[in-house]
Amino acid sequence: MTRLLLTGGLLLSLPDVSAQVRLPRLPNGRPDFNGVWQAASSAHFDIERHMARHSLMLRDGPHGPLPAQQTLALGAVGAVPGGMGIVEGGRIPYKPEALKLRDENRQHWIERDPEVKCYLPGIPRANYMPFPFEIMQNATQFFFAYEYAGAHRDVLFKDPGPAETDSWMGQAVGKWEGDTLVIENTGFNGQTWFDRAGNHHSSQLKVVERLKLMTPYHIQYEATITDPEVFTGPWKIALPLYRRMEKDARIMDFRCVEFVEELIYGEHRRNPLKR
Amino acid sequence: MRCTVTGFLFALATATAQGQRTPEGKPDFSGMYDIASLTPLVRPAQFGTRLEMTDAEAEALAKKVAATVAADSRASDPDRKAPAAGGDIGSYNQLWFDRGTQATRIGGKWRTSILTDPPDGRLPELTPEGKAIAARNALRNRTPGEPFWIKENLKPGPFDDPELRPLTERCLGTFGTSAGPPMLPAGYNNLKQIVQTKDRILILNEMIHDVRIVRMNAEHDPPDMRRWFGDSVGRWEGDTLVVDTTNFNDTPGLFSASRNLHIVERFTRIDANTLSYKFTVEDPTVWTRPWSGEVVWPRTTQRLYEYACHEGNYSFMGILKGARLLETEALRKTPE
């Protein structure tokens, strides 16, 4: 009843595009998510709302923050663009000690961010990194292949119970609620981050994602995040994911393991390069 | 009328025996496969030119492997001595291996080798360039009890830089014959997951989590676009999925292959739970002729767990640091 009343009002003010656009569907009637998708946001820098800042890592300068020594040479390329954030309400409800760790993480970003070492990104971070990912969906499978680090995720539609082992990408159990795919992610190892701003969680992390195809060209992505060790309560993120429209869009190889060998192992070469 | 019904029922029965089809009418290969097998790529000398082994031979092989597994699964002697310096320290414990329990069986016959061509079941002769690459690669696997590369004045030495080590040690990609192509049985982590859609065939290789995305009815990338595991495009020839892979990097993981490596794989259904996997490898820079083989991919209900290799790659650091230590010790013994 309420919905009926509301619908009239919403149609006048906020046109519901999904009602007007014919969604692509699989022969079994499910919305067809097949394709290459990518976020267009600054969430990968910082999921909280933030103004642009000098650098990914800062130190105190005479008149305010300046780029840290390790990121200085990058100049404007190493600066962080601003963003309204993807966290509902703008701020993550950290427990005090967890907030302290976040700030410390930010100060030591280059040593601590798992992305710098090309480690698997975890969920939800994989979904809004500045790389495309491809969804492969058929009648029984729903598979995410991420360009970054060759990460991937197979959504299980039969719940196997609690994850038997911790992992970087977690265990994804999916179910359909009408046209919305709901994925419950658990079984994390607690070593991944949310972004390049030190936002973190523990192995108690639980991420319940909701993916809804709004038009053939965009998905509304939402996730509810709980972690009783780190946060005072559940919180939500939301952002659209856009279809990559290039002809023959695809994910490329980004085997960044190769790109961090000099960083991780370079000093153990027989003739190390000058550092 | 009756004829039509019978015909329909027959078609239905056949479809069931042959497994599901996709909405587009193609055989549906989606699912999980465990391709572990005791049949090696190259035919053991004892079988001569025979492609098939007898039931008795297959049973003997299975028993021999089972006995080895049982023997190596016993608890280690807590008082055992350290191996001699520079000696063979062996490999993983059996716990880590999962080679399967029987040989490959195709059409009811046990196979002596995966290789079907050349008919002798051995890899073809290498070209002079292939021999040079193979010799260089062999150096990587020499166990260094001493820094032989100093004594033999090898420049570069096989342990000088990360880039000179095999892809597997670097967690960059797995054994050339596991992620492939061709994707063949290995000593462990033999699961393959196929996700099939209208435009894509995704094959996830469990070991070191290699995701292969085969673009259907697509053209290969331009020749300057190269990848460690090549660029794979697919097409249907009737009910056979044909995957063509080119555009490899200069040093692909497959044995001593070069950037001119070209692989054709053919997936067909034997029955609802088994795929036939045939492949042909050609690289005129390295081998004097193409080589081909066949294995089966049986479906499994096992789950595939995350294989995070790089994140815990402590051994690679150890390999490089160990080489540096050997060099330092050698220099200390013979001051210049």
Nearest CA in chain B to A146: B211
Lowest mean pLDDT among A239-243, B7-11, B134-138, B210-214: B7-11
The upper half-sphere exposure of residue B8, i.e. CA atoms within 13 Å in the direction of its Cβ, equals 5
Mean pLDDT of B288-313: 97
Q: Give the list of residues 6+ apart from residue B37 with CB closer than 8 angstroms, or none.
A: B99, B100, B102, B103, B104, B114, B185, B295, B296
Whether the CB of A158 is below 8 Å from some CB of chain B: the reply is no
**From CA A257, how far away is CA A262, in angstroms rounded?**
10
CA atoms within 13 A on the CB side of B186: 22
Beta carbons of B202 and A255 less than 8 Å apart: no
Q: Which residues on neighbouring strands pair with residue A171, listed in sequence order? A: A186
pLDDT at B1 (0 to 100): 38
Tokens of B292: 């081909």
Backbone angles phi, psi at A207, to 5 degrees: -125, 115
pLDDT recorded at residue B4: 45
**How does pLDDT run across A144-176, given as a tens digit for each residue?**
999 999 999 999 999 999 999 999 999 999 999
User: Which residue in A has a C-alpha nearest to residue B228's C-alpha?
Assistant: A253
**DSSP letter assigned to residue A128:** G
CA distances from B333 to A217, B146, B327, B328, B329 (A): 68, 12, 10, 9, 6
Name the token pair of B88: 């063979």
Answer whether A270 sits within 8 Å of B157, measured CB to CB.
Answer: yes
Give the one of A137, A152, A255 whose C-beta lies nearest to B197's C-beta. Answer: A137
Contact B241, B29 (CB under 8 A): yes
Residue B26's CB is within 10 A of a number of other CB atoms, namely 16
Tokens 């192992």 found at:
A265
Interface of B with A in 12-71 (CB under 8 A): 22-23, 28, 30
Q: Is A246 on the interface with B (CB under 8 A)?
A: no
Rounded to whole angstroms, the Cα distance separating A258 from B115 reads: 32
Best of B154, B161, B209, B247 to disrupt the A interface by mutation (most A CBs within 10 Å)? Answer: B161
**Lowest-pLDDT range of B15-29, B161-175, B305-319:** B15-29
pTM metric for this prediction: 0.92
Instruction: Check CB contact of A263 with chain B, cutoff 8 Å.
Output: no
Least CB-CB distance to A150: which of B160, B211, B317? B211
CB contact at 8 A, A88 and A230: no
The confidence band for B91, taking pLDDT boundaries of 50, 70 and 90, is: confident
pLDDT, tens digit only, all 275 positions of chain A = 344 444 444 444 445 555 568 999 999 999 999 999 999 999 999 999 999 999 999 999 999 999 999 999 999 999 999 999 999 999 999 999 999 999 999 999 999 999 999 999 999 999 999 999 999 999 999 999 999 999 999 999 999 999 999 999 999 999 999 999 999 999 999 999 999 999 999 999 999 999 999 999 999 999 999 999 999 999 999 999 999 999 989 999 999 999 999 999 999 999 999 98
B169 pLDDT more than 70: yes
Closest in B171, B197, B320 to A136, CB measured: B197
Q: Which residues make Cβ contacts (< 8 Å) with residue B113, sequence separation at least 6?
A: B39, B40, B41, B42, B43, B44, B47, B51, B121, B293
Instruction: Name the helix (H) or strand (E) containing A20.
Output: helix A17-20
Closest approach of chain A CAs to the CA of B118, in angstroms? 34
CA distance B289 to chain A (A): 30
Q: Is B304 exposed, middle or buried (0-12, 13-18, 19+ CB in 10 A)?
A: middle
How far A254 CA lies from chain B's nearest CA (Å)? 10
Q: Which of B156, B170, B133, B160 is nearest to B254 (CA)?
A: B133
| CA-based nearest residue to A267, from B320, B328, B329 | B320
pLDDT digits (tens, 9 = 90+) for B46-76: 999 999 999 999 999 999 999 999 988 888 8
A150/B327 Cβ within 8 A: no
What are the distances in angstroms from CA B98 to CA A35, A77, B34, B191? 35, 48, 10, 10
Give dist(CA B330, CA B151) in Å, integer.
10
Residues 65-104 of A with CB under 8 A from B: none
Residue A80 bridge partners (DSSP): A53
